[in-house]
Amino acid sequence: MSKSKDFSITSAERYSLALYELASENNVLPQVEDQSLAILNLISSSKDFSNLIKDPTNNQEDLLKIIENISNDNKFENLFKSFLSFLVLKRRFFYVEQILNSFIETCSQKRGELKAELKSAKKLSSDEISKITDELTKNFSSKIKLNYKHDESLIGGLVVQVGSTMVDTSIKNKLQQIENRMIEA
């Protein structure tokens, strides 16, 4: 079973790289990236669409019609529409979420962005998140793509992770350290 999982990850990376190169060559990379995000948002927000993708019994013609309708409604680039149709014809539409996530990741890497995770105990405003992003950009001398999550279980403080570097100033972490010291004593 792990071999088929590895194959799907490898396939996703190959397809996403092909999409990146095609979009770049045709000077439609920003549009295709936005449209990929739109499809990923549709997958996460629509249970029907998500189930449609994962159902192996769907007819190819029906899937192609759905892609045609979505593409026309959202004014997708012909390249992106053709790519989605290609995935259906090659019976790889099941992996569209993995492929598009990999594509977004590839776009981010090619722009030299670093991925960062930010968790905070209190809900941060967009201005506070922006200031943290700017500070991380200065400290790491690279563009930062920040993924923010509000996590009340931290009790107080922040957890920031950029690549393999992690800074945890949360009260939850400090309490765990105290608990560990008490157990060791």
Q: 132 and 54 in one domain?
A: no
CA 101 to chain centre: 5
**Are 105 and 120 part of one and the same domain?**
no
Number of domains in the chain: 2
CATH code where residue 97 lies: 1.10.520.20
Last residue of one domain, picked from the residues 84, 109, 134:
109
| Domain span at 75 | 2-109
Q: Are residues 105 and 22 in the same domain?
A: yes
Structure tokens at 116: 């960062």
End position of a domain, from candidates 109, 126, 146: 109
Q: Which of 81, 109, 137 is the last residue of a domain?
A: 109
pLDDT of residue 142: 84
Q: How does DSSP classify residue 57?
A: T
In tens digits, the chain (185 residues) has pLDDT values of 444 455 567 888 999 999 999 999 999 999 999 999 999 999 999 999 988 888 888 889 989 999 999 999 999 999 999 999 999 999 888 889 999 999 998 998 899 888 889 999 899 999 999 999 999 889 888 888 888 999 988 888 889 998 778 888 888 888 899 999 999 87
Could you tell me where the DSSP H helices lie in the chain?
Answer: 2-25, 29-45, 47-54, 60-73, 78-89, 96-110, 126-140, 171-184
What is the spatial distance between Cα 9 and Cα 57, in angstroms, rounded to a whole number? 22
pTM for the model? 0.70
DSSP code per residue over 140-158: HTSEEEEEEEE-GGG-SSE
Question: Do 101 and 14 form a contact (C-beta atoms < 8 A)?
Answer: no
Long-range contacts, stretch 89-94, CB < 8 angstroms, 24+ apart: 89/60, 89/64, 92/11, 92/15, 93/53, 93/63, 94/53, 94/54, 94/56
Q: Is 95 found in the same domain as 128?
A: no
Residues 89 and 162 in one domain: no
> Same domain, yes or no, for 99 and 27?
yes
